[in-house]
Structure 1
Amino acid sequence: MESINNNNSQDKVWYITGTSTGIGLDLLELLLNNGNRVTAITRSPDQTIDELKKKGTKNLDKLLAIKTDITNDESVKESIKKTIQEHGRIDVVVNNSGYGLLGAVEELSAEDIQKIYAVNVFGVYNVLRHTTPYLRAQRSGLILNISSYLGYSTIGGKYSAYESTKHALNGITLSLQKELEPFNVSVVLIGLGGVRTSFVNGGNFAVTKNLIEEYNTNQLIEMFKKYSPFAKGDPVKVAQTIYNLSNSSKLPVSLDLGSDSYQIAKATFENRLKGVEENHQLTLSTDF
């Protein structure tokens, strides 16, 4: 997939969701220090700006931080309208918002499931539906959808709500690639491994209230909290890779980031292919 934006990197306008902490905040810092114009979609604009100031971030005058609820269609639409008014265009869209939800299927309430889908799936749709008209009209642009290796694999249960939203995001992304290709707009799916951020121990990770003792979900909760600070992924390096993609002359359809993501992707697809071959005759037996 060829890159689509020939603008110099400093001329590009970025629209990024999930910028309060972690990868989103690190990406903001990197972009601003490199002179890019950025719209930061965040629940707490003042907090985001304060964090950037603490880091000594340059060019804060090029930042438009907008309090936006991505689960609200009108809120997203208004944020994009403000971006166009302020920056004149949008070149790179990064769908980075999301949160995790832990619980066995039986433990999850309807509200639990609706809430995570509202952010991880429907929120992404809101952003895409209102940014793609501009990208299509200008015949250029790049969309980066931040997913996870859990979009094609599993940690072994009790994380189905999060995993299924990432499966959905992967499907949305792969379809969108085909839809926007005729308009010179590129879409890249990024599958993250574990990244050393505050995702688990901060405010982006929820646990169902309806725990059932037999599932021992509490053990998994404690494991997540224990090992999260030791995740292999470096958020600064992830942010740098995302930035580098925006200046690449050739873009991948999908990109796994992190050694754990690579290992799990390789094992998952090899096992899947093995199963396909083992059941080859049975698969063909259902044809007319």
Structure 2
Amino acid sequence: MKTKKVWFITGASRGLGLALAKKLIENGYYVAGTSRSLNALIQELGNASETFLPLEMDVTNDKDVKEAIIQTIDHFGVIDVVVNNAGFGQIGTLEELSDQEVKNSYDVNVFGYLNVIRNVTSHLRKQKSGHIFNISSIGGYVGNFPGFGIYCSTKFAVAGFTEALAEEMKAFNVNVTLVYPGYFRTNFLSKGSVKTPEKPIEAYESARELEQAHLGQIDGNQPNDPEKAADALIKICQQQTPPGHLFLGKDAYHYAGLKMELIQAELAKNEQIGTATEVESTN
């Protein structure tokens, strides 16, 4: 009987997914890692072994996802922890991003997660145990970043269905944690991981300034260490009652705090107007 859990991680060839996979393997866990590039996985984490299974998988392809999950269970006998992590950033204002650019973002960042959830929950439900981590972003809690509206909206979507999923899986003893990372020093903002608008509109000066700040100044200078994020996820998974929401990074806590203060202030300011909507009693 395995004493260490089996983790299924999407987007395991780079960024947070890679840091987590490495940390788990080093500590004796079993890992199935997926990526669109099998060679990238093998180069970073090695060939298939008793403890590691590299899988080429496109999260937007439901058949691919189903086969990868079946292969993982065939290899390890079980899946204990699922980390929905694969995704990319799309920069651009709502006006300048094309319909196709927006759909591509949702295909990977939203429907990719749902493909994994749809195919893995039946196994977790039947075994009556497991843990799902859905990686959102602090941009899935705070959306006031000009030029990042579509990206943030995909992460807000992840937050919404993760909260529902947590309730749906309670009866089956499956834990669900929604993760809001701040800025981590990965290649997320590097070429190949983040996309800029195909037809930018220069009139959006604030969006262009924030775009250049992310690509030129923030990239490589992010305040958070992905290895420490990996440590945090492992610790959360070991808790008897893991949280439904996990903010990662002092910056994430800062932005979340500002959002909470704003909401509380606006609730108080407009309470009389906002609560004057009830149907008046006829008695």
TM-score of the aligned structures, taking structure 2 as reference length: 0.94
Stretches of structure 2 lacking an aligned partner (at least 5 in a row): none
User: Per-residue deviation at 1:221?
Assistant: 2.5
2:79 aligned counterpart, secondary structure: coil
Residue correspondence of structure 1 range 12-51 to structure 2 within 5 A: 12-51=5-44
Is it true that 1:158 corresponds to 2:147 in the alignment? yes
| C-alpha distance 236-202 of structure 1, shift in aligned 2 (>3 A) | farther
* Equivalent position of 1:221 in the other structure: 211
Is it true that 1:276 corresponds to 2:267 in the alignment? yes
2:147 aligned counterpart, secondary structure: coil
* Equivalent position of 1:98 in the other structure: 87
Q: Deviations over 1:224-248 (max 9, x none)?
A: 1221211111100001111111211
Distance in 2 separating the partners of 1:18 and 1:155:
27
Residue correspondence of structure 1 range 179-218 to structure 2 within 5 A: 179-216=168-205, 217-218=207-208
User: Per-residue deviation at 1:121?
Assistant: 0.2
Q: Deviations over 1:240-261 (max 9, x none)?
A: 1111112112211101010110
* Equivalent position of 1:237 in the other structure: 228
User: Per-residue deviation at 1:173?
Assistant: 0.5
Which deviates further from its counterpart, 208-217 or 261-270? 208-217
Is it true that 1:286 corresponds to 2:264 in the alignment? no
Are the equivalent residues in 2 in contact too, given 1:32–1:60 (CA < 8 A)? no
Structure 1 residue identity aligned to 2:91:
L
1:262 aligned counterpart, secondary structure: helix
* Equivalent position of 1:248 in the other structure: 239
Are the equivalent residues in 2 in contact too, given 1:149–1:264 (CA < 8 A)? yes
User: Per-residue deviation at 1:105?
Assistant: 0.6
Distance in 1 separating the partners of 2:27 and 2:42:
17
User: Per-residue deviation at 1:38?
Assistant: 1.1
* Equivalent position of 1:4 in the other structure: none
Distance in 2 separating the partners of 1:163 and 1:35:
35
2:219 aligned counterpart, secondary structure: helix
Identity between Structure 1 and Structure 2 (%) = 38
Structure 2 residue identity aligned to 1:211:
P
Distance in 2 separating the partners of 1:199 and 1:218:
18
Distance in 1 separating the partners of 2:108 and 2:249:
24
Are the equivalent residues in 2 in contact too, given 1:39–1:66 (CA < 8 A)? yes
From 127, 133, 137, give the equivalent of 1:148.
Answer: 137
2:186 aligned counterpart, secondary structure: coil
Distance in 2 separating the partners of 1:238 and 1:202:
23
* Equivalent position of 1:176 in the other structure: 165
Structure 1 residue identity aligned to 2:258:
A
TM-score of the aligned structures, taking structure 1 as reference length: 0.92
Which deviates further from its counterpart, 211-220 or 273-282? 211-220
1:38 aligned counterpart, secondary structure: strand
User: Per-residue deviation at 1:48?
Assistant: 1.7
User: Per-residue deviation at 1:32?
Assistant: 0.8
Structure 2 residue identity aligned to 1:231:
Q
Structure 2 residue identity aligned to 1:223:
A
Is it true that 1:115 corresponds to 2:115 in the alignment? no
Are the equivalent residues in 2 in contact too, given 1:40–1:63 (CA < 8 A)? yes
Are the equivalent residues in 1 in contact too, given 2:11–2:17 (CA < 8 A)? yes
User: Per-residue deviation at 1:155?
Assistant: 4.5
RMSD: 1.6
Distance in 1 separating the partners of 2:256 and 2:211:
24
User: Per-residue deviation at 1:214?
Assistant: 0.6
Q: Deviations over 1:112-162 (max 9, x none)?
A: 000000000000000000000011001100000111111121243111110
Stretches of structure 1 lacking an aligned partner (at least 5 in a row): 1-6
* Equivalent position of 1:52 in the other structure: 45
